[in-house]
Amino acid sequence: MKPATAAILLSCPEQPGVVARLAGFLASRGGNITHSDNHTDFAAGLFLTRIEWQLDGFELPRAEIPIAFAPLGAELGAEWSIAYSDVIPRVAIFVSRQDHCLLDLLWRHRAGELHAEIPLVVSNHDVLRSAVEREGIEYAHVPVARGSKQETEERELRLLADHRIDLVVLAKYMQVLSDDFIARAPRVINIHHSFLPAFVGGRPYHQAYDRGVKIIGATAHFVTPELDAGPIIEQDVARVSHRDGVGDLIRNGKDLERVVLARAVRLHLRNRVLVYGNRTVVFA
């Protein structure tokens, strides 16, 4: 097993000496940096960085790191968060009827590709239960009835709290979440079956077919109150031709969706994605 590391994601106004001060903070306490990457968005006047260092040999006990760092963070006017490589995030997957993204994530989890525990799958249908339960994962069937949205979401939020979930992955969950849910839930990543911002809303493959595009795409993004408009984490595309009907677009799109969603989830779980405004920096 790899020795534990800590990783800070930080954004602050552009100013001289930030790298030196951050690196100096760590070096003076025996922190050995194993990865650092930064980016300056000159248009926004922001410095954005990710620094990872080994906890072995670092003088501060884990609980004191945020306390010790806070004054420097404040001086820099920074927003920041720290994550530890040996703290395994807990993920809940939301699905409807389509299984391709769910099965793909479960397979990657079993194959050790995802730095996560998956204690919970939530669905508004009861069709995927056996595929989930045979992995030893709880399957919560939370039907969505007309007029019961608020109740449904309350129940989902309780499930997330009970399972101490850090990340919700919408793996083809065909329901729109309320602003209230988004505000109270942990981070939510969604896979949208188009090359956003083309074809927002419903039935994007039908829209793509009607428009006669030669390339289709998929987009993984953080969910925000504005539908299909949250910060993009990852996108990919595939070529299609006039020979492809809507059914072919859907089938080829599934291959895109599961790969794009898995990449985005994996990047986020490894603390590689920094959000600022409606944009992401992906320290890949």
Q: Which residues bind a second copy (CB under 8 A)?
A: 16-24, 26-28, 30, 32-43, 48, 51, 57, 99-100, 103, 107, 111, 113, 134, 195-199, 210-215, 217, 231-237, 239, 241-243, 245-246, 251, 255, 259, 262, 278-282, 284
What is the residue-wise DSSP string for 84-100? ETTS--EEEEEE-S--H
Q: Toward a second copy, which CB reaches closer, 30 or 71?
A: 30
Q: Please state the closest distance from residue 119 (CB atom) to a second copy, in A.
A: 22
Q: Toward a second copy, which CB reaches closer, 185 or 261?
A: 261
Q: Toward a second copy, which CB reaches closer, 161 or 227?
A: 227
User: If we measure between CA atoms, which residue out of 61, 131, 60, 62 comes closest to residue 102?
Assistant: 131
Residue tagged active-site, from 37, 126, 180, 228: 228
Q: Please state the closest distance from residue 177 (CB atom) to a second copy, in A.
A: 21
Q: Please state the closest distance from residue 134 (CB atom) to a second copy, in A.
A: 8
Q: Are 231 and 275 in contact (CB under 8 A)?
A: yes
Q: Toward a second copy, which CB reaches closer, 19 or 88?
A: 19
Burial of 9 (0-12, 13-18, 19+ CB in 10 A): buried
Q: Which residues contact 251 (CB under 8 A, 6 or more apart)?
A: none
Q: Toward a second copy, which CB reaches closer, 142 or 174?
A: 174
Q: Please state the closest distance from residue 145 (CB atom) to a second copy, in A.
A: 28
Q: Which residues contact 98 (CB under 8 A, 6 or more apart)?
A: 172, 254
Strands (E), 134-261: 138-141, 167-170, 187-192, 215-222, 232-239
Q: Are 59 and 30 in contact (CB under 8 A)?
A: yes
- Overall residue count recorded for the chain in this entry: 284
Strand partners, 257: none
Q: Please state the closest distance from residue 141 (CB atom) to a second copy, in A.
A: 21
The question of whether 228 is a catalytic residue gets the answer yes
Active site residues: 228
